[in-house]
Amino acid sequence: MTKTLSSAVEDYLKTIYNLREESHGTEGRGEGGITTQAVAARLGVAAPSATAMIKKLAGLKLARHTPYRGVELSAKGEKVALEVIRHHRLSEAFLTKVLGVEWDKAHEEAEKWEHVLSEEVEARMAALLGDPTHDPHGSPIPTLDGQVARDSGRPLAEIEAGTRVVVRRVSDEDAPLLRHLQKVGLVPGAEVEVLRAVPAEGVIQLRIGKQRHIVGLAPAAAVIVEKSEVMSDE
Amino acid sequence: MTKTLSSAVEDYLKTIYNLREESHGTEGRGEGGITTQAVAARLGVAAPSATAMIKKLAGLKLARHTPYRGVELSAKGEKVALEVIRHHRLSEAFLTKVLGVEWDKAHEEAEKWEHVLSEEVEARMAALLGDPTHDPHGSPIPTLDGQVARDSGRPLAEIEAGTRVVVRRVSDEDAPLLRHLQKVGLVPGAEVEVLRAVPAEGVIQLRIGKQRHIVGLAPAAAVIVEKSEVMSDE
DNA sequence: CTTGTTAATTAGACTTATCTAAGTTGGGGA
DNA sequence: TCCCCAACTTAGATAAGTCTAATTAACAAG
């Protein structure tokens, strides 16, 4: 019944899930769901490859496909996607916390680990880490039964000047970007004040901790923050 | 230059290397090297699949192939094989020591891990484990520069009655066998006395530690032991 | 309501690794 | 020496996943 799925299938499911999450601020979605080209671009494959795989996923009842309209995961597909994402994020946490791998390298390593973790090893990793709820980049780790903490927050790039915020999570896709963010201190938990936005230059001025930094809008869009008026429980 | 090799290629190289090691007590070797069918059998593939891959390895200069005569690794092929085996045995050690995975399950997990470990993660695992020289089954872990401690020893099945030996290593291929060996205490380091061989019944009587056991010749062939007259340095 | 552009799909080919079925080859036994 | 058989290789097919080139669909702009 639980036939083993190929890594390729797992990668597509994960990608479609992630794109759906991200696109709640619209982009890359038709009404049917996620765009073929968005999937292809994220995975670095040609569009026809994505079409072919999407049709395969539909055949496996892991997704629904409306030709020319987009793709959407079925409940079954979402379940598999969440398992893969759990493996990925647990691996990232394990790689950084236990093995001391750098932040920016953990993602690509986890990209490989996520496909080879048995349920048993996954459970042991989780236990060893104390059942973490978030990975090192601040993304929530789905639970065994598929629950995902849905964090609120907005991209740092959209915050009005004069606001004080705290960093919740950063995108883990881009290693050079990640190194930059780490260097300036834009890591989960950091306290930040938006001093001034300079749209003409495409940059914003920030106070990060006690330091002042100027960062571009692109990196700032990859940083999800939350207002820090109320001293929250963290 | 260092083009990435497929898992399949890595598996064949590892298998040819392992068969060569084991066949120093002859079997499965033609003079040219390792037999096609030995490779096919070990990997669980049909003979033509092995032929095809062996020809591919020869084309990649990873092995020499004399048709109808057998295959032998080149220096380059052996180097790759040793890297894969290092990954495999480090993973076994890591899985049992750090994650607490059972002896008999570690092998199949490592079978997957060996193909996804980056050099960096490998190094960190090795450091965390204190640069172990042997895996949990007693097999030597090749060093980074390709040195392998060549342990002496003979199969327990061939030891004369009345001899006292110490277990050096056991084959890691077969999980049920491994569980059996663990149950009776035939693990690396165990002290054993061969009490009597009963060839007619295909069994031998042993004293393992303070317990007496009767084990079959098949399991006994998978256990490599060394005479323990001289109290060695371990 | 036609048209043009962009996205999506189909068509057809290639790669890797596998299989079964059908030849070959090498070496031992009569 | 000849023959036979097991082992090996060749031939041809299949399955996954990818690609480029060509076609088709959606839809916004005239």
Q: Is the pLDDT of residue B30 over 50?
A: no
User: What pLDDT is attached to residue B1?
Assistant: 58
**What percentage of chain B has pLDDT greater than the value 90?**
68
Please tell me which residue, B110 or A27, carries the higher pLDDT value: B110
Query: What is the pLDDT at residue B102?
Result: 92
Chain B residues in contact with A99 by the CB 8 A cut-off are 121, 124-125, 128
B49 touches strand C (CB under 7 A): yes
| CATH topology (fold) of A154-227 | SH3 type barrels. (2.30.30)
What is the CATH number that goes with domain A83-150? 1.10.60.10
- The pLDDT confidence band at residue B109, using thresholds 50, 70 and 90, is very high
Query: What share of chain B in percent tops pLDDT 70?
Result: 93
For A179-197, what is each residue's pLDDT tens digit?
A: 999 999 999 999 999 988 8
**pLDDT 10s digits, B114-135:** 999 999 999 999 999 999 999 9
Helix (H/G/I), strand (E/B), else coil: A203: strand
> What per-residue confidence (pLDDT) applies to A162?
87
Q: Mutation test of the interface with chain A: which of B102, B105, B120, choosing the one with the most A Cβ atoms within 10 A?
A: B120
Residue A25 has pLDDT above 80, yes or no: no
- Residue B155: beta bridge partners? B224
Q: How far is B80 from chain A (nearest CA, A)?
A: 20
Q: Of all residues in chain A, what percent carry a pLDDT higher than 90?
A: 71
Mean pLDDT, range B32-58, rounded to an integer: 95
- Test A121 with B109 for CB contact under 8 angstroms: yes
**What are A110-159's pLDDT values in tens digits?**
999 999 999 999 999 999 999 999 999 999 999 999 999 988 888 898 88
Which pLDDT score, from 0 to 100, does residue B201 have?
A: 84
Provide the token pair at B205: 């009587």
Q: Which of A101, A120, A125 sits opposite B121 (nearest CB)?
A: A101
Q: Which pLDDT does position A229 carry in this prediction? A: 64
Q: What average pLDDT score do residues B180-194 get?
A: 91
pLDDT at A27 over 60: no
CA atom of B27 to C1′ atom of D8, Å: 17
B232 pLDDT band, cuts 50/70/90, is very low
- By CB atoms closer than 10 A (0-12, 13-18, 19+), residue A155 is middle
What pLDDT score was predicted for residue B233?
A: 44
Mean per-residue pLDDT, B28-49: 85
**Highest mean pLDDT (candidates A145-159, A192-206, B6-20):** B6-20
pLDDT beyond 70 at B57:
yes
Mean pLDDT of all residues belonging to chain B? 90
The CA-based diameter of chain A, rounded to the nearest angstrom, is 57
Residue A33, pLDDT > 90, answer no
CATH number of B7-73: 1.10.10.10
Give the confidence band of A31 by pLDDT, cuts at 50, 70, 90: low
Residue A163's Cβ-count burial label (10 Å; 0-12, 13-18, 19+) is: middle
Average pLDDT, chain A: 90
Is it the case that residue A167 has pLDDT exceeding 90? yes
Tell me the C-alpha distance between B103 and B106, whole Å: 5
Confidence of residue A198 (pLDDT cuts 50, 70, 90): confident
**Chain C bases closer than 7 angstroms to a protein Cβ:** 7-12, 16-22, 25-26
User: What is the domain partition of chain B in residue ranges?
Assistant: 7-73, 84-150, 154-227
Residue A28: the pLDDT is: 42
Tens of pLDDT, residue by residue over B146-156, are 999 888 888 89
pLDDT in tens, A76-103: 999 999 999 999 999 999 999 999 999 8
Mean pLDDT of B68-94: 96
Where does the pLDDT of residue B209 fall: very low under 50, low under 70, confident under 90, or very high at 90 and above?
Answer: confident
pLDDT at B32: 59
pLDDT at A233 over 50: no
pLDDT at A202 over 80: yes
Alpha-carbon span B188 to B222, nearest angstrom: 12
The distance of A205 to chain B (nearest Cα, Å) reads: 36
Give the pLDDT confidence score for residue B199 in this predicted structure: 80
pLDDT for A213 equals: 92
The model's pLDDT over B70-80, given as tens digits with 9 standing for 90+, comes to: 999 999 999 99
Question: Are the C-beta atoms of residues A161 and A194 closer than 8 Å to each other?
Answer: yes
Q: Which nucleotides of strand D lie within 7 A of protein CB?
A: 7-12, 16-21, 25-26
- Over range A67-82, report the average pLDDT: 96
- What local confidence, expressed as pLDDT, does residue A8 receive? 98
CATH topology of domain B84-150: Diphtheria Toxin Repressor; domain 2 (1.10.60)
